[in-house]
Amino acid sequence: MGAWGGRAVGGGRGAAVRLPVEGGAVIVEGCAGGRSTEVWMYVVKSPLSDANLATVSEALQGALVDLVDLALVAKQIHWNVVGPRFRSVHLQLDEVVSTARAHSDTVAERAAALGVSPDGRAATVAVGSGIGVTPEGWVDDSAAVRSIVDALGAVIARMRERIAATGEPDPVTQDVLIQVAGDLEKQHWMFQAENG
């Protein structure tokens, strides 16, 4: 395994080995029911050069992490908001969650279309997000709005950096990120208007 750079997947008699191959391919060798060896190969080739793909994949992965975390943060605040504006803030936070989830899927699928495996695992999100710490426990409606304004502001700033970085290497990805930023900026404006 080590000489091939493979990684064991699964365990027991049905264990498999993932072998990365040039061009984004992966060969998975394993025993089906412990009897026979099967080999599958799946290739997604990017039309981008390696250098451009590196830039674009970094931007897409960063966007995915921020969007997944934004959905989690908005939902956390949604569950814990209290105060006279509870209902309006509670419902508006669900709009942020829906927006972030929809765009995270679009971003992840764009990465996959370019041969890049998107990583939205909790540990990856926890390490890579640009969003600050979310308040614990019950959150007053004014503080809830400030928290989501800060979270949206952090994601938007990073999204704009990604827009700039992807313009030359991949205008298609840049277009995806522009749409994300536009929708998040609309939410940012609406929440800022909440606290006047």
120 and 164 inside one domain: yes
Rounded to two decimals, the pTM is 0.79
DSSP per-residue codes, 142-171 = HHHHHHHHHHHHHHHHHHHHHHHHHTTT-H
* CA separation for the pair 166, 53 (Å, rounded): 10
82 and 15 inside one domain: no
133 and 156 inside one domain: yes
Predicted local confidence at residue 43, as pLDDT: 72
37 and 90 inside one domain: no
Number of domains in the chain: 2
Q: pLDDT-derived band of residue 42, with 50, 70 and 90 as boundaries?
A: low
pLDDT (mean) for 149-173 = 98
**Higher confidence at residue 34 or residue 95?**
95
Domain range for residue 66? 50-195
- List pLDDT tens digits, range 116-136: 999 999 999 999 999 999 989
Average pLDDT of the chain, as a whole number: 85
Pairing of strands 16-21, 139-140: unpaired
* CA separation for the pair 53, 114 (Å, rounded): 8
26 and 109 inside one domain: no
- Among 2-6, 93-97, 106-110, 130-134, name the one with the lowest average pLDDT: 2-6
161 and 98 inside one domain: yes
72 and 19 inside one domain: no
7 and 104 inside one domain: no
128 and 36 inside one domain: no
CA dihedral of 64, 154, 175, 77, whole degrees rounded to 10: 60
125 and 74 inside one domain: yes
> What's the CATH number where 93 sits?
1.20.1260.10
67 and 30 inside one domain: no
Give 179's Cβ-side CA count (13 Å radius): 12
121 and 169 inside one domain: yes
**Higher confidence at residue 13 or residue 174?**
174
